[in-house]
Homo-oligomer: A and B are copies of this chain.
Amino acid sequence: MCGIVGYIGGREAAPFLVEGLRRLEYRGYDSAGAAFLVGGRVVINKATGRVSALAGALLGAGHGARTGIGHTRWATHGRPSDRNAHPHPDCQGRIAVVHNGIVENYRELKEELAAAGHRFASETDTEVLAHLVESQRNGDGLAQAVRRALRRVEGTFALAVLSADDPEVLIAARHGSPLIVGEGEGERLLASDIPALLPFTRDQLVLDDGEVAILTRDGVEVSRLLDGARTVRHAARVEWDLATAEKGGEPHFMRKEILEQPRALRDTLCGRVGLDGLPRLEELALGAGEARALEHVELIACGTSWHAGLVATRHLAELARLRASAEVASEYRYRPALPLGAEGGGKALVVAVSQSGETADTLAAMRAAAAGGARPVAVVNVVGSSIAREAEGVLYTRAGPEISVASTKAFSTQVATLFLLAAHLGRLRGTLSESGARELLAALGRVPDQLEAMLPEVAAQARALAPRLLDKRGALYLGRGYGFPLALEGALKLKEITYLHADGYPAGEMKHGPIALVGPQTLVVVVAPQDRLHAKTLSNLEEVKARDGFVVAIGTEGDRELARLADAVFWLPPAPEPLNPLLAAAPLQLLAYELSVALGRDVDQPRNLAKSVTVE
């Protein structure tokens, strides 16, 4: 997650770059920078910090320049630092590159380039691109060099390249990360999203994956990266207002964020599964000895993140044979402190989970654990946040900014990240076989596509279902095993945005009290994919049906028994049991979303709530 901007035209480039970066700051804000063509030279200005703090310096550095590229960063490879900030130059300082995405084979490329004499100034994968373009120059123009360079790259990218030797062009390319070209009178603009360009032009062209664009003052030439064939593309007029544009055309941030989960999950996984198909979490810096010495894992979190933690306790038990607890941070922090670290170093692994990385209770609980001898690890979304900074190791979820108060993509990316952690620990501890890990990770890699395929149908179904639920007075969400934390999460979503009472329960607990709630005015949502406990969950469902509950089920395609028992079913594609939570979350989110809309609630800003809870 980074933001990119670019300008070539008759006006000063710097003011546009600064304004565009401000609008893209949600995509990352640990550092920013710009490169300009000034008097036949490339001038780069970059530093850690927010765009607003750097605006003066950027405007000064770009004075007089009519071509420039800019970047606001969300660190993936290399910590936030001045050196690691973009743009990155080549050896001669004649080329500059900004990049959003991950170059997966950057080590291999870097070694090769270094052997050929290239000198690197940063720890980033992006710098490799600048040198790669430099190495591919042979007099036939910048676009050809970029094209040849990118054919050697594995991974995802949106990038912009300028060169002092090609002052009339700006090169852009896209594969897996968004990039938009804006067209104005005698100027062409570049940005990572539509809204950033809207104040300047409504005529926009969304690049497709695998396309390269050559921008000049007066036109855009789009061609295919693979074979260089020209593609005829025209800018379309964007009729959205700014507010709609920020929601990607969706009526609410929540829906936008639910629907972008396939993308978010791809980002989460990116670079964390090796070419050998095994988990690669080097960012964690946890050795096999340490992993084997672990006796238990304590996850601390609040709200939705706590539910992700509860899913993870099951992953950790199954894949790493570790006893794990997930505890609400506001309780954990005030518990009597129990010994955490053994003398030898770390019998307990403490993992703090937080979207914002600023959750006050989680931060305090993590500090309490650290004071007790733990070396806590954090799973957070916002780079450089307090929890990320104070943890001994960080796994970023890379969900991108979550604006909706009701958390959706943060949850699924947390679950995916924690799953990777469990698989990683399982490998280190020798409790997960190589073939078992490969199988699971291959299936995990398919989840974003599966999700993408099922989302349109699920969304349509949820919308059709909502009007039938308007008379419900409350809801009971049920699940077993991996389904239980999902039941809690589904119930929380409903509470948050519809203000209906909703209880999440292990399905087996229903008979110990909650079943008294079941009647015609009670919505019963059951998470019952095909798994080891499926038959037991179905029996519980029979009990509900016998009491006239309205049953919405989430199950695996082809489950006739479930279809018979439920009033409505959301179907999931088949997946290994531990991955079901990643698929089951979206129907629960969309169900709550559509019911909230149908009830006329304020979806994105539900009453009484705030996004990031930085007080107790």
By a beta-carbon cutoff of 8 Å, the part of chain A in contact with chain B is: 295-296, 302-304, 306, 314, 317-318, 321-323, 325, 328-331, 334-336, 338, 361, 473-474, 480-481, 484, 492, 495-497, 499, 501-503, 506-509, 511-519, 532-533, 536, 539, 543, 547, 606-610, 613, 615-616
Among B322, B473, B543, the residue within 8 A (CB) of A501 is: B473
Which residues of chain B have C-beta atoms less than 8 A from A314's C-beta?
Answer: 335
- Count of this chain's copies in the oligomeric assembly: 2
Which residues of chain B have C-beta atoms less than 8 A from A506's C-beta?
Answer: 328, 330-331
Among B473, B508, B609, the residue within 8 A (CB) of A331 is: B508
Cα–Cα, bound, A314→B325 (Å): 14
State how many angstroms separate the Cβ of A165 from the closest Cβ of chain B.
55
Cα–Cα, bound, A543→B317 (Å): 38
**Beyond A473-B501, A511-B609, A547-B608, is A616–B536 a contact (Cβ under 8 Å)?**
yes
**Beyond A331-B506, A334-B481, is A609–B318 a contact (Cβ under 8 Å)?**
no
A516 touches B496 (CB 8 A): yes
Which residues of chain B have C-beta atoms less than 8 A from A502's C-beta?
Answer: 501
**Beyond A317-B336, A336-B317, A506-B328, is A513–B492 a contact (Cβ under 8 Å)?**
yes
A303 touches B509 (CB 8 A): yes
Name the CB-closest residue of B to A522: B501
Among B329, B495, B508, B514, the residue within 8 A (CB) of A495 is: B514
Among B330, B509, B536, the residue within 8 A (CB) of A328 is: B509
B334 touches A532 (CB 8 A): yes
Interface centre among A317, A507, A515 (most CB of B within 10 A): A515
B616 touches A509 (CB 8 A): no
B518 touches A608 (CB 8 A): yes
Among B321, B338, B515, B608, the residue within 8 A (CB) of A317 is: B338
Cα–Cα, bound, A424→B595 (Å): 52
Interface centre among A331, A518, A608 (most CB of B within 10 A): A608
Among B302, B325, B501, the residue within 8 A (CB) of A503 is: B501
Cα–Cα, bound, A224→B511 (Å): 50
Among B296, B323, B539, the residue within 8 A (CB) of A616 is: B539
Which residues of chain B have C-beta atoms less than 8 A from A321's C-beta?
Answer: 336, 338
Which residues of chain B have C-beta atoms less than 8 A from A304's C-beta?
Answer: 512-513
Which residues of chain B have C-beta atoms less than 8 A from A497's C-beta?
Answer: 516
**Beyond A318-B336, A335-B314, A532-B334, is A501–B517 a contact (Cβ under 8 Å)?**
yes
State how many angstroms separate the Cβ of A278 from the closest Cβ of chain B.
21
Among B329, B330, B335, B547, the residue within 8 A (CB) of A507 is: B330
Name the CB-closest residue of B to A531: B334
B330 touches A613 (CB 8 A): no
Cα–Cα, bound, A503→B511 (Å): 17
A511 touches B613 (CB 8 A): yes
